Amino acid sequence: MFTPNPNPFRLDHETALITGGGSGIGLGIARCMIQAGARVVLVGRREEQLVKACAELGSMSSFLAHDITRLDAASDLVAAAQNAGQSPLTILVNNAGTHLKKFAADTTPEDFQIVFNTHVLAAHALTRAVIPGMVTQGRGSILFTSSMAAFMGVPQVLAYAAAKSAYFGMVSTLSAELSAKGVRVNAIAPGWIFSDMSRKALDSDPGRKAKVLSRIQMGRMGNPDDVGHAAVYLCSPAAEYVTGVTLPVDGGASVGF
């Protein structure tokens, strides 16, 4: 007999490792997951930023200062995160990234490698490190932060768009391999999301700001918690039959005119 879950959008008893969790979208995901009952372990390179984030988030948060492009240290990071979170990891959010704004003709192989190291190789290394534990537990959720740039042509972001597009194949393949073992794999593709950096850039360029807003069907930019709430859904029991998808969270920009 089917027994409905009274709180399907809750993340009680879940422990999430969130890369790039000290600011922006990563911090928004952490905040929303804690509100839903999860413990979170933030990972980033800047300890001062992580300390500030955890002070905001409270006792359900902890952090590890770490460079995820140290690929051979991925298993050590996962073990340390489980110690910090005082629980086996049940959620991995591959959110850390680096941006590069260059025209395609000016983008060097070295530029491509730097972007791919963070977005693709590091995300794979961490995913590979959490898979055994999640499979043994018979449950887990792996989430990638893709981008609207993977859906539409945006000038001067060739390496970034290519890296974010790589998540489509990673999500599909991982889902095919892991879903029957209780591990779901999905991605979110944020659109234009407010941050201190984006606000400063757009406020200093009214023409670009007007163009951006004209592409968004909802007529406004999003905020990190918009992405965070979507992440909670995809990692919660409410999405227990959802795997292998990339969910745009962009106010309609990717399908706008």
Global pTM reads 0.94
Task: Please name the residues in contact with 79: beta carbons below 8 A apart, sequence gap of 6 or more.
Answer: none
- Among residues 160, 167, 233, 241, the one annotated as catalytic is 160
Q: What is the pLDDT of residues 206-245, one digit of tens each?
A: 887 888 888 899 989 999 999 999 999 999 999 999 999 9
Identify the pLDDT of residue 204: 74
For 15-193+223-250, which CATH superfamily applies?
NAD(P)-binding Rossmann-like Domain (3.40.50.720)
Q: What is the pLDDT of residues 131-167, one digit of tens each?
A: 999 999 999 999 999 999 898 888 889 999 999 999 9
Query: Is beta strand 39-44 parallel, antiparallel or unpaired with respect to 61-65?
Result: parallel
Q: How many residues does this entry show for the chain? A: 257
CB 111 within 8 A of CB 62: no
Tell me, rounded to whole angstroms, the distance of Cα 227 from its chain centroid: 9
pLDDT band at 28 (very low <50, low <70, confident <90, very high): very high
The chain-wide mean pLDDT, for the chain, equals: 93
Q: Does position 72 have pLDDT exceeding 70, yes or no? A: yes
The DSSP code sequence of 77-134 is HHHHHHHHHTS---EEEE-------B-GGG--HHHHHHHHIIIIIHHHHHHHHHHHHH
Active site annotation includes 241:
no
Identify the pLDDT of residue 2: 64
Q: Does position 1 have pLDDT exceeding 70, yes or no? A: no
